[in-house]
Amino acid sequence: SGIDAVLTTGGGTLSGYVKNPAGTGLANALIDVYETQYNIAVGSISTDANGYFEVPGLLPGNYTTFTRYNNVYPSEWYSDKTTFETADPIMVTEGRNTTVTIILGGADPNIPNLSGQVRNYAGTGLENVQVKLYDMDQEFIVSVTTNANGDYAFNNLPSGEYKLYTDASAVG
């Protein structure tokens, strides 16, 4: 007695597509849905063969997503953000379907936005050196291997700060 309650009709739905920069849907991308006020994970789902996902039964409020795809594209918060704190909110409304399109990797997958060269002490580029990219919290994102000239490039990175690690001691 004395307890007020409001029954809902089942909440709202967050749905949409995860695509690459060319607009192709990405199958089996993993999406975690977070409530933004308290940073609580409320759901996790994989996309279907067309890159589609749907998370029903969400209480009305603001949410955001964290999306990852087999280390092909860097993981990101909605929309092209590197941290929960900077992620864009997605408003979910009771009895409605809120749709979003998540583009992993930015606008053009062929333009590197972080590149460099691994060289030995003589200044010669080193081939086949693995260069690992981490976020500022030491979370692994993706790695690439240097070419014959020692060059490497990371494409499709959301704006943000990163750390690079490499071990060229085995190469020379």
For the segment 45-88, what is each residue's pLDDT rounded down to a tens digit?
999 999 999 999 999 999 999 999 876 777 888 888 888 898 89
Pairing type for strands 12-19 and 97-103 reads parallel
- Measured distance CA(87)–CA(83) in Å, rounded: 6
This prediction's pTM:
0.61
CA-to-CA separations, 49 to 19, 52, 65, 82, 161, in angstroms, rounded: 11, 7, 19, 26, 32
Low-confidence ranges of the chain (pLDDT < 70): 1, 4-9, 71, 106-112, 156, 159, 168-172
